[in-house]
Amino acid sequence: MEPIPLCKGQLILAETHDLAVYQGACGADCAAALAPSAGACMPVAEAVRESVPVGCVVEGVPGPEGVSGGQPHPTEALIGQYKDLLRQGIPEQADFLYLRGTDSFASLRCAVLAATDLTGRSIMAEVPVGADGVLPFGTDIVAAVAVLQRIGVGTVIVSGEAAQDVADALARCAPYARVSLGARVDPSWLAGDVRFTNAELYVPRRAEDIGALRAALAAYTGAVQVPRDHDGLLIAPDGTNAHFIDPMIDISDGIECDSHLGELLLEAEDGSGAYKILLQEEEDLICFEEHVFMLARPVCLCAEQPELLEKALRIYPGRALYDGTWELDARLTRYFSEKYGMICL
């Protein structure tokens, strides 16, 4: 498979209170401008004179530390916090949402679900990485991209403290990305030997560096393109690690969500390639969420009630499998696949 031709690299103008930086900066090398808040969208839109789309930055919020009796599940509580933030207003000048600053992949995923629940705006997501392409709290970059691109994110921007960490993360996820990729970089990074694989968009690490980054990008010759292909295997992340599976993967017998779930998961580890989790009532969701951290392989979710299945899909941080144990209406199957990245075997 030949590499997909990509643009040489375009700028995303970083948010800043000094809008003078935008004057005359929106040429063919610019893809978008960011506004740091809803209130800043109008002045930014006026500054760029509609020459590029404007993105409204949505900062991450801390996740709930736990759950008490009668309270929502932690995942839904966090989605609710993001909804409250978004309900404060998304200006009409905002062409897309730019999600960043989340403290974990689970929080970023909740932000995406909240955004797709409330709005049809396009979504960019900034993903921070450290060494070896690992996000805070241990999520692998390939797993993160594999989930985000299936739940509504159109562009992933990789950020990090070190140029090589960002480059390594892009190199690892680029073959599996079906969305545009970008990097938040220091201008000096483009003058070295670091190669940012399949990067189409560049964001300055500091807003005041936009001029220097523009000049560095004009002279940058280190772009690398790789094919977007993975030999027909399915990517079924568990929320932390990416799993490449065959559509004929062996799935365990049904595992009930009760007080013995932890023991049953350990017993099933040696006998199958994926866990089949049975959900029969609302209380099962609490047990399921409490044990999500133990799900270190692909998960097949089974619920006779579609409403229960959807609630489990919202909790599960990876891409769940569906094997048709309880048949779903074709419309619902398509909806669950498009909204939550559910994989139909």
pLDDT in tens, 83-126: 999 999 899 999 999 999 988 899 999 999 999 999 999 999 99
71 CB neighbour count, 10 Å cutoff: 11
User: In this structure, are residues 275 and 252 in contact, taking their beta carbons and an 8 Å threshold?
Assistant: yes
pLDDT surpassing 70 at residue 47: yes
d(CA 152, CA 281): 28
CB 98 within 8 A of CB 130: no
pLDDT surpassing 90 at residue 282: yes
End-to-end CA distance of the chain: 25
In which band, very low, low, confident or very high, does the pLDDT at 201 lie, cut at 50, 70 and 90?
very high
Whose CA is closest to 114, among 74, 76, 82, 73? 82
pLDDT for residue 70 is more than 50: no
| 3-class secondary-structure state, position 291 | coil
The confidence score (pLDDT) of residue 14 equals 87
CA 145 to chain centre: 6
What pTM, to 2 d.p., does this model score? Answer: 0.92
What is residue 270's predicted lDDT score, i.e. its pLDDT? 66
CA dist., res. 274 & res. 145, Å (int): 21
For residue 40, pLDDT over 50 is answered with: yes
Residue 157: what are its φ and ψ, rounded to 5°?
-105, 120
Cβ proximity of 83 and 118 under 8 Å = yes
- Residue ranges of alpha helices (H) inside the chain are 41-48, 74-87, 105-118, 141-148, 163-173, 210-219, 261-268, 282-290, 306-315, 330-340
| Average pLDDT of span 117-146 | 94
